[in-house]
Chains A and B, each alone.
Chain A
Amino acid sequence: MDHLDVLEQQSVYILREAYRHFERLGMLWSIGKDSTVLLWLARKAFFGHVPFPLVHIDTSFKLPEMIAYRDRLAREYQLTMIVGQDEATLAAKNTFPDKFKANPAMTDAEQAAARTACCSLLKAGALSATLNGTGVRRRLNLQTGVYEIENDRQPYHGVIVGARADEEGSRSKERYFSPRTKENTWDVGDQPPEFWNQFKTDYAPGTHVRIHPLLDWTELNIWEYIKREQIPTVSLYYDQGAGTRYRSLGCGPCQTPIQSTATNVDDIIAELKSGKLRNIAERSGRKQDGKHGLEELRRQGYM
């Protein structure tokens, strides 16, 4: 077994444990490389099937390539595809792009605050509402390709997430199975012990558990695996001739591409190995990750 096999096999084991113990299980799919690898691992674990819904939170500001790619894979893999959105906030134009348009003279600090507030509504808030069923869920009709209102509004008890420990500080403290309170918050100071692959699979009514099969993977591992398995990825990760590409995917207005001429998976792997990106944090292109912004979002249940 090589190191990718070891990572893959542990992730498969975790996915199967999640499927066995959580009757109402869902998997977050951000369309990014990590959660797409996760989707692939689910097909590994369940022999070509994905026996639970995939949940995507659409802020409406995602890059269009991401949405097209999502729907294409959903139909190809026959996925139960659920999409949630904070429609009220969007209608009220209470978002960062709306506010910025109204007031282009915002200072950097004001912008940062507006971005975090926007994430907190469109991502953390929408996610929590979609998961607990208070928000509208839309489901892709695989025949027609149209999203229809989903009648099933039951809360999810288990949510599979593609977080990696090497992404940023707070994630390195996660467990594979990490309980969230009724309020969807994470009590990082009092987590249950986790050892010998015996996970937290019992949970009190009203609470849910986040499951992290990719915790031990690094960014390089993810790309190596994409290469090995030939997993389809969004074109935004590659330079299309302008000398830039996205290293991590989010919303258009809050994200800048990095300088890179990598046009394919091999180039990206070479770039990561060469150390060109070694000293630049992966999420550096994301503008909401201020000093405590991300950690705060995490406590609120984002990702």
Chain B
Amino acid sequence: MSEAVVDRDQMNIVIVGHVDHGKSTVVGRLFADTGALPQGKLDSVRAECARTGKVFEYAFLLDALSDEQDQGITIDTARCFFKTASRDYIIIDAPGHIEFLKNMISGAARAEAAALIIDAKEGVRENSRRHGYILAMLGIRQVTVCVNKMDLVNYSQEHFDRIEREYREFLAGIGAVSPKQFIPIAALNGENLANRAASMPWYQGPTFLETMDGFIKAPPKVDQPLRLPVQQIYKFTAQGDDRRIIAGRIEAGRVNIGDKVVFSPSNKSSTIRSIEGFNTQPRTSIDAGWSTGFTLSEEIYITRGEVMSHVEHAPLVSTRLRANLIWLGKKPFLPNRDYKLKLGTAAVPVRIHRLLKVIDASELNSQLQKDHVGRNDVADVILETRVPIAFDLIADSESTGRFVIVDGYDVAGGGIVVESVRDDQDELRSEARLRDFNWVKGSVGLDARAARFGQRPALIMFVGKANVGKHRYAMAVERALFDHGRATYLLDGTNVLMGVDHDLTVDATQAELVRRFGEVAYLLLDAGLLVVSTTNAIGLADHSAVQALIGDTPSVVIEVDPRGVSVAPCDLRIRGDEPESEVVARVTALLTSRAILR
């Protein structure tokens, strides 16, 4: 008697709104009116209330936890399961109290649609606005506004219209999508929730339940450009498995076996060889929504955090991005401090580059004169990451256009990317991307070279003023590495200057000298070598430009500073009077700790 499993849609709906405006009553009453409650549940809660002399509240029904009942407010999102004739719902009852904004966001972020409850008598309040802003930021576009407690305003249409007008104006002001539907309800009596109210004949629109069933399930983003943030590279050797699998979820688009794919920000490319799975049919193509895995035709060294795409629709890469964010941390978001940015699967150090404005999210038109972002504030900022990351603008791709910020051990804020901001290395980075995406590969790959040489290529740069001993140390380091069987090359700046830069000697710009030096270094690194460089022409200040050209190839910068005055960041600083053997030992240790030497 096998009955076919009928596929039913499941939809997450979040209920938000200012505290006491009636969220729990809406959910509780909806359950009661549709027969969704377990047998006897309602009666037992009513009896419990009668026994303790409390007025029955639907909120009691939902509050499963004792400390919540003590406080009488929803402190965390509660999830209830509920079904109508057309589909299954998970109703998320989000707390309306400002203290618990982070819980409201956690609940709302899982939702595909939202109902915002406004108390007809109290009207639009602080969290009505703040929640409206957050729904917009979270990307929830299907929103219904319920104007509740209509019984307290004599079911007045005029009153209802005024609230609708006011709230629509507010949303327009923050650039949010205007809700399709405003519904006058009285949740306590179940009016216009599951059943149409006789008390408001002037309202011809759908009931809340009808609106819910009208929400559309957003299809996976199959038609957008491919985005797969790399989650991890697996090489499970157990039971003779020799697959090297690039694992991740396709957030948008589609990919086929045989497609050429590129990885950003490293700019590496390869071809999809297979689509892997367990207990599934073999596939030749896979699309948005699937947590999957691939093997590649040419093995390339990539890491978690990179975004796989097709070459013609690659994501943006920069260190600067303009964002709208909301801060939830107990401690404020401060300039001149490092935080962690998590975007897609990438996690990189980040700072505030510029604080453009801080807004009180409850008003959203009042700009605060602040030099930091306080708890529950909303801000418009330019962020700067320490290393380039791949991302999209929120308007182009949702999953790679939003991020959270971690302070210490906790997620403390989240936001959306609204603009890519140029940084100093923008041009060089574009040059490197164009170069890499079109790079013609030989049949010997980087991995093969790395395996043979027992090393990953790296640039070891000695910088500092003239005649401080850079050349002497560089020679010693190269010699020692070479004598240990490494594949090395000493790149002396003079040699580049006399040859590759010959045409520039008259009116050389520093930028062009750096560019050429970087491109030469890149060729040597592509050969798999440990390149030890020493040059007077290129200093510590030029390092990020060189890095932009050599991409994710690691570099180690050693500054020779006899006067001990430099404070610029570098990997190793020496004074120039150390014995060469000591410097060799320290550099070797550094290379080993970074897994450059094996």
**Which A residues contact B (CB, under 8 angstroms)?**
1-7, 9-10, 12-13, 16-17, 19-20, 43-49, 51, 78, 165-166, 168-170, 172-173, 175, 188-189, 191-196, 198, 200, 202-204, 216, 218, 224, 227-229, 266-267, 269-270, 273, 279-281, 292, 295
Give 1 or 0 for each of B60-76: 1 = CB within 8 Å of chain A CB. 00001111000000011
Please determine whether B8 and A3 come into contact, CB atoms closer than 8 angstroms.
yes
Question: Across chains A and B, which 10 residue pairs bring their CB atoms closest together, nearest first?
Answer: A169-B64, A195-B109, A279-B39, A193-B102, A12-B291, A198-B404, A202-B409, A172-B79, A49-B236, A173-B76
**Which B residues contact A (CB, under 8 angstroms)?**
1-3, 5, 7-10, 38-39, 64-67, 75-81, 88, 90, 102-103, 105-106, 108-110, 138, 220, 231-232, 234, 236, 238-239, 241, 243, 245, 247, 249, 276-279, 289-291, 293, 304, 328, 340, 342, 399, 402-404, 406, 408-411, 414
Question: Which B-chain residue is minimally distant from A173 (CB atoms)?
Answer: B76
Please determine whether B105 and A195 come into contact, CB atoms closer than 8 angstroms.
yes
Please determine whether A19 and B249 come into contact, CB atoms closer than 8 angstroms.
no
Please determine whether B408 and A202 come into contact, CB atoms closer than 8 angstroms.
yes
Please determine whether A266 and B2 come into contact, CB atoms closer than 8 angstroms.
yes
Other-chain contact of A193, B3, B90, B105 (Cβ < 8 Å): B105
**B529 CB, nearest partner CB in chain A, Å:** 31
Other-chain contact of A44, B106, B279, B404 (Cβ < 8 Å): B279
Please determine whether B39 and A16 come into contact, CB atoms closer than 8 angstroms.
no
Contacts of A192 in B (CB 8 A): 102, 410-411
Question: Which A-chain residue is minimally distant from B65 (CB atoms)?
Answer: A170
Contacts of A193 in B (CB 8 A): 102-103, 105-106, 328, 411, 414
Q: A1-B289, A3-B7, A170-B64 are in contact. Are A49 and B402 (CB under 8 A)?
A: no
Task: Give me 8 other A-B pairs in contact (C-beta within 8 A), A20-B231, A191-B106, A194-B109 excluded.
Answer: A9-B290, A12-B291, A43-B278, A44-B277, A170-B65, A172-B80, A192-B102, A196-B109
Q: What separation, in Å, do the CA atoms of A247 and B410 have in the docked complex?
A: 38
Q: What separation, in Å, do the CA atoms of A47 and B232 have in the docked complex?
A: 13
Other-chain contact of B278, A17, A44, A51 (Cβ < 8 Å): A44
Q: What separation, in Å, do the CA atoms of A172 and B94 have in the docked complex?
A: 12
Contacts of B404 in A (CB 8 A): 195-196, 198
Contacts of A1 in B (CB 8 A): 220, 289-290
Contacts of A172 in B (CB 8 A): 64, 78-80
Contacts of A280 in B (CB 8 A): 38-39
Q: A196-B402, A198-B404 are in contact. Are A269 and B231 (CB under 8 A)?
A: no
Please determine whether A195 and B409 come into contact, CB atoms closer than 8 angstroms.
no
Contacts of A270 in B (CB 8 A): 1, 3
**A9 CB, nearest partner CB in chain B, Å:** 5
**A217 CB, nearest partner CB in chain B, Å:** 10
**B337 CB, nearest partner CB in chain A, Å:** 16
**B321 CB, nearest partner CB in chain A, Å:** 16
Please determine whether B9 and A166 come into contact, CB atoms closer than 8 angstroms.
no
Please determine whether B236 and A266 come into contact, CB atoms closer than 8 angstroms.
no
Please determine whether B232 and A19 come into contact, CB atoms closer than 8 angstroms.
yes
Other-chain contact of B66, A51, A266, A292 (Cβ < 8 Å): A292
Please determine whether B7 and A204 come into contact, CB atoms closer than 8 angstroms.
no
**A14 CB, nearest partner CB in chain B, Å:** 9
Contacts of A46 in B (CB 8 A): 234, 236, 278
A-B contact list, 16 entries, CB within 8 Å: A1-B220, A1-B289, A3-B9, A6-B10, A9-B289, A12-B291, A49-B238, A169-B65, A172-B64, A192-B410, A194-B109, A194-B411, A198-B342, A202-B406, A224-B5, A227-B5
